[in-house]
């Protein structure tokens, strides 16, 4: 049995957690069918937001105020991870510096622990290493349209990882 790679994408209303809020996130277990997904929409935790950042999510501030309690969403995400993982889950995303920062902060703030531990993987850096070229991008490997719906975006990134495994002979076990 390999590791459980979970591709994550988040949308926020600002650059950092705590001062700003994670508005939504999507996660998909990386496997051939990509049908094991989690989607969370979280009520803001702060009065601060940057309109241009929020606009990327496709939601208005008024809409986000009716989203789910962040503590409950993170508890549900933790339960979903427990259910789908037989081994340690591995967090991977397109931009793990950004996505990880929010997920890690929200897990520790609301749940007291992070099921992913203390590390994450970066899909873009993995592709650059496979190509041995720091100027390369993997984004052409996505099949799903990049819509800024975090589930769509996580699926597209998972498709890219599957293509790296199949076409570029990346050694990875799911």
Residues 92-147: tens digit of each pLDDT? 999 999 999 999 999 999 999 999 999 999 999 999 999 999 999 999 999 988 88
> Mean pLDDT for the chain?
95
- Asked whether residue 88 carries a pLDDT value surpassing 90, the answer given is no
pLDDT band at residue 2, thresholds of 50, 70 and 90? low
Read off the pLDDT of residues 4-17 as tens digits, 9 standing for 90 and up.
Answer: 999 999 999 999 99
**What does the pLDDT read at residue 65?**
98
Positions marked catalytic? 148
Q: Could you tell me what percent of the chain has a pLDDT over 90?
A: 92
- How many angstroms separate the CA atoms of 55 and 53, rounded? 5
Residue 109 located in a structural domain = yes
Domain that holds residue 55: 4-167
- Examine residue 173 and state whether it is found in any structural domain, yes or no: no
Structure tokens at 123: 């899909």
Report whether 37 contacts 162 (CB < 8 A). Answer: no
pLDDT digits (tens, 9 = 90+) for 56-78: 999 999 999 999 999 999 999 99
pLDDT at 87: 85
174 domain-assigned: no
- Is 35 within a domain? yes
- The pLDDT score that the predictor gives to residue 1 is 52
3-state secondary structure 34-102: CCCEEEEEECCCCCCCCHHHHHHHCCCHHHHCCCECHHHHHHHHHHHHHHHCCCCEEEEECCHHHHHHH
Q: How many helices (H) and strands (E) does the chain have?
A: 6, 5
> Greater confidence, 15 or 87?
15
- CATH code where residue 97 lies: 3.30.420.10
Is residue 172 domain-resident?
no
- Count of structural domains, the chain: 1
Q: Which of 169, 161, 166, 80 is nearest to 127 (CA)?
A: 161
Q: Classify residue 42: in a domain, yes or no.
A: yes
């Amino acid at each position: 049995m390999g590791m459980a790679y979970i591709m994550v994408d988040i949308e926020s209303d600002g650059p950092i957690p705590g001062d700003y809020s994670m508005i939504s996130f999507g996660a998909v277990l990386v496997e051939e069918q990509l049908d094991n997904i989690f989607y969370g929409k979280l009520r803001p935790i702060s009065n601060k937001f940057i309109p241009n950042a929020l606009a990327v999510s496709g939601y208005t501030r008024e809409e986000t105020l009716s989203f789910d309690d962040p503590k409950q969403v993170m508890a549900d995400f933790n339960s979903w991870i427990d259910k789908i993982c037989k081994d340690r889950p591995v967090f991977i995303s397109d931009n793990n510096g950004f996505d990880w920062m929010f997920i890690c902060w929200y897990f520790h703030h609301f749940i007291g622990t992070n099921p992913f531990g203390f590390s994450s993987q970066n899909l873009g850096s993995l592709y650059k290493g496979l190509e041995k070229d720091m100027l390369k991008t993997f984004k052409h490997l996505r099949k799903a349209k990049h819509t800024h719906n975090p589930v769509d975006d996580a699926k597209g990134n998972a498709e890219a990882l599957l293509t790296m495994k199949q076409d570029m002979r990346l050694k990875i076990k799911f």
